[in-house]
Amino acid sequence: MTITLLFSAFILDLILGDPYTWPHPVKVIGNYISFFQKHLIKPLFSIKMNYFMGGILWLSTVIISYVFTWLILFIAFRINNYLGYAVFIYLAYTTLATKSLAKEGKKIAEILETGTIEEARQQVAMIVGRDTSQLTKEEITKATVETIAENTSDGVIAPMIYLFIGGPPLAMAYKAVNTLDSMVGYLTPKYKEIGYVSAKMDDLWNLIPARISFLLLCLSSLLLNMNPKNTFKIGIRDRKNHKSPNGGYLEAPSSGALGIQLGGSHSYHGVEIYKPTIGDSLKVADSRDILKMNSLLYCSSCLGLILFSIILFMIQ
């Protein structure tokens, strides 16, 4: 039954994505994080106090996300099993982001082909944290590919793993971890202390999912006939060429499959952050590479679902 429910949630994600006007738990999580920062963190706090409050922010966000999701499921199943199944599927679906991620990538690819550079910069700014005001078309393409590659794990494979381990409550706790990192997990002066715990815990929670995603991306490149030999070679060679202990495991095989070079320094919140280069520049990156990255995303997601379902079936 659990496998059936999770398959249903995955299919729902492929059909619906994340409509902007629909209520979404991640929006609630983001609102809580913003509220905490605004009302419970004061400018006059000492450095140690900022580290401490950053830890409280992380702990409270994750615990609240888990407990509320568990309570909603508990109440739904107490009322009626079918209602419980429906709520389970919906909550599980909201933790996955396959279609929405691919959709945002496709939008950018289309604008690069038919729109202006300013429109492309504005669109890519919606999915990346770096300054996009001066990016070229090739840099916009690379930024989009990097985001889709990293979110193959963060937005799909990782929450899928936590869904199979602990259902929607654990997957929602993971979404809280990921949302915290995206909102406060920066090395800039504003977030250095407040976001320290969030950044480190995000690294920890993604450690295994990123490495599983590495294998899924390599296998996907084989199934899609996207230079699997180079995918694995670059993946192994450059997997550690990243500030994050996990990011390189997603970007390296992706760059190998596409034959483009990723990484390099970028501006985040007005601060220049150095990032090592990943991959070999076998060609100039263009909008078609975004669509190819989408194919890798979809294939890896389907392979992950099948793999985790087999494992769960075998151990039940």
- Using DSSP's 3-state secondary structure scheme, residue 130 falls into strand
In this prediction, residue 269 carries a pLDDT of 53
In this prediction, residue 45 carries a pLDDT of 79
CA distance 57 to 195: 9
Q: pTM here?
A: 0.92
pLDDT band at 206 (very low <50, low <70, confident <90, very high): very high
Q: What is the mean pLDDT of residues 39-48?
A: 80
- The token pair that represents 125 in the structure block: 């700014």
Q: What percent of the chain has pLDDT over 70?
A: 96
What value, to the nearest 5°, has the Cα angle with vertex 215 and ends 214 and 216?
95
pLDDT band at 205 (very low <50, low <70, confident <90, very high): very high
In this prediction, residue 301 carries a pLDDT of 97
CA distance 290 to 148: 8
Nearest CA-CA partner of 229 in 238, 240, 218, 239: 218
In this prediction, residue 155 carries a pLDDT of 95
Helix, strand, coil shares of the chain, percent, nearest 5, are: 75, 5, 25
- Among 13-27, 146-160, 185-199, 278-292, the range scoring the smallest mean pLDDT is 185-199
Q: What is the mean pLDDT of residues 5-28?
A: 91
Provide the mean pLDDT of the chain: 92
In this prediction, residue 37 carries a pLDDT of 86
Nearest CA-CA partner of 297 in 130, 107, 152: 152
Q: Residues 6 or more apart from 28 whose CB is under 8 A from it? A: none
In this prediction, residue 18 carries a pLDDT of 87
Question: How many CB atoms are closer than 10 A to CB 43?
Answer: 5
- Among 113-127, 144-158, 189-203, the range scoring the smallest mean pLDDT is 189-203
pLDDT band at 33 (very low <50, low <70, confident <90, very high): very high
pLDDT band at 129 (very low <50, low <70, confident <90, very high): confident
Q: What is the mean pLDDT of residues 86-114?
A: 96
In this prediction, residue 187 carries a pLDDT of 67
Tokens 């060679």 correspond to 237
Q: Count the alpha carbons within 13 Å of 304 in the hemisphere toward its beta carbon.
A: 32
State residue 185 phi and psi, 5-degree precision: -85, 50
pLDDT band at 72 (very low <50, low <70, confident <90, very high): very high
In this prediction, residue 133 carries a pLDDT of 84
Q: pLDDT tens for residues 250-295? A: 999 999 999 999 987 665 555 566 778 999 999 999 999 999 999 9
Q: What is the mean pLDDT of residues 143-160?
A: 96
| Distance set, CA 49 to CA 54, 181, 220 (Å) | 8, 19, 46
- 166: pLDDT strictly greater than 80: yes
- 188: pLDDT strictly greater than 80: no
In this prediction, residue 47 carries a pLDDT of 85
Q: For the chain, which residues make up each domain, given as ranges?
A: 1-315
In this prediction, residue 46 carries a pLDDT of 84
State residue 273 phi and psi, 5-degree precision: -115, 125
In this prediction, residue 285 carries a pLDDT of 94
- 38: pLDDT strictly greater than 90: no
CA distance 68 to 31: 15
In this prediction, residue 292 carries a pLDDT of 98
